[in-house]
Amino acid sequence: MDQQINKVRNTFSELFDKSSSIVSLETIQIEYLGRKGQINHLASQLVKLSLSEKKIFGKLVNSLKQEISSLIDQKKLALSKKKHQTLLSEIDTTSPGTKYLIGQLHPTTLVIRQINSFFRYLGYGVYDGPEIETDEYNFQKLNVPADHPARELQDTLYIVEPEYLLRTHTSSVETRAMTKEQLPLQIVVPGKVYRNETANATNNSMFYQYEGLRIDKNISMAHLRGTLDRFVRFLYGENTKTRFRCKYYPQVEPGAGMDIQCNFCNGNGCQVCKYRGWIEVLGAGMVHPNVLTSCKIDPEIWSGFAFGMGLDRLVMLKYGIDDVRKLYSGQLIVKQNT
């Protein structure tokens, strides 16, 4: 029995001393400790021995098994540490690491979230609606009947003319909200709109709009002006100067365009503001009684204001982007600190 144990130990020692890699150690481990290995072969001989011999031989086999297992584990650990130290010696651990750039939100998404947070603070809900719209919600309920000249101002992309089209403004979502939701109503509507236009540095056939609507009792232009002044100062800074100008929009009466004093020239005139000293940022006005009536709202009881702006110009100014097409190119790169 001792001879068999010593023979296995000696052959293991020879192989073990020659091993110089973790792979070779794993091969030895299988050969001696595996299901068909040398240790199990020795253990299979226990059935041929007497009870007293089994106790002695079994103890020797277990001792050898533990010895082999311990030696293999220790050498594996030593080889692993040596390999790790070799790798470290080839690396200059004092040199600065490489910064891995991760993805970030699109500038338009960031601006929308920023504006959403402002209006949520004022109690507005964020509303959404279909981009494929009907003529009824996109035009008729907004005081733009089939023969209205205002339709000539917007080159519409029709899906099935004249009933289905790609919405030309997010005002269509506001008419849906006025038709379906309970009053009073305060919503903002960010979203994509579509026009039949040739793409260039300042225009695109698809772009983002941001519109807002408030319907309540006794709403006046003072509420509109106060809301928009507060919004513009949130967006452009507390010292931003604003002005209202009369402007025509079929869905509001009276209508107004809101300008901010050009912050590039402080109102003196430059190329950015086309030497006017002011930059138009949005259109607004009191919701037209015809719009309220078309949405089954009594204009004698309820009143409201609406406003809307194109987001692309705002995003371009904020992030220093010189061509609107870059916003939709799929290869837009902006500075991380913007």
Residue 164 reports pLDDT greater than 80: yes
- Token pair 């903002």 in the structure block, residue: 188
Write out the two tokens for 249: 């929009």
In this prediction, residue 337 carries a pLDDT of: 47
Question: How open is the CA angle 288-290-291, to the nearest 5 degrees?
Answer: 70
For residues 296 and 179, the answer to whether their CB atoms sit within 8 Å is: yes
Is residue 306 scored above 80 in pLDDT? yes
Sequence-distant (6+) residues with CB within 8 A of 200 are 324, 325
The answer to whether 190 touches 109, Cβ cutoff 8 Å, is no
- 253 annotated binding-site participant: yes
Q: Which residue has the higher pLDDT, 109 or 317?
A: 109
Beta-carbon count within 10 A of 98 CB: 6
Return the DSSP state at 319. Answer: H
Mean pLDDT confidence for 147-169: 78
The pLDDT, as a whole number, for residue 225 is 94
pTM for the predicted model, two decimal places: 0.66
What are the strands, taking DSSP E only, across the chain? 125-126, 132-134, 158-160, 164-166, 185-194, 206-216, 242-246, 252-261, 278-287, 303-310
Q: What is the pLDDT of residues 182-191, one digit of tens each?
A: 999 999 999 9
Name the residue with higher pLDDT: 119 or 100. 119
Taking only the tens place, the pLDDT of each residue in 19-44 is: 888 888 888 888 888 888 877 877 78
User: Residue 239 phi/psi, 5° resolution?
Assistant: -90, 10
Query: In the prediction, which pLDDT does 151 show?
Result: 67
Query: In this predicted model, what pLDDT tens digit does every residue of 62-109 receive, in sequence order?
Result: 887 888 888 888 888 888 888 888 887 887 778 887 777 777 888 899
**DSSP letter string, 200-269:** -SS--SEEEEEEEEEEETT--HHHHHHHHHHHHHHHH-TT--EEEEE---TTEEEEEEEEEE-TTTTTS-
Taking only the tens place, the pLDDT of each residue in 222-268 is 999 999 999 988 988 888 889 999 999 999 999 999 998 887 788 88
Cβ contact 325:201 at 8 Å: yes
Looking up tokens 């904020």 gives 318
> In the prediction, which pLDDT does 288 show?
96
The pLDDT of residue 283 is above 80: yes
Buried b (16+ CB within 10 A) or exposed e, 144-160: beeeeeebeebebeeee
Report the range of poorest mean pLDDT among 134-138, 140-144, 179-183, 325-329: 325-329
Tokens found for residue 89: 């010696």
Question: How many helices (H) does the chain have, and how many strands (E)?
Answer: 10, 10
Say what the pLDDT of residue 275 is.
85
Residue 338 confidence (pLDDT) above 60: no
Percent of the chain with pLDDT over 70: 95
For residue 307, report the phi and psi dihedrals to the nearest 5 degrees: -150, 155
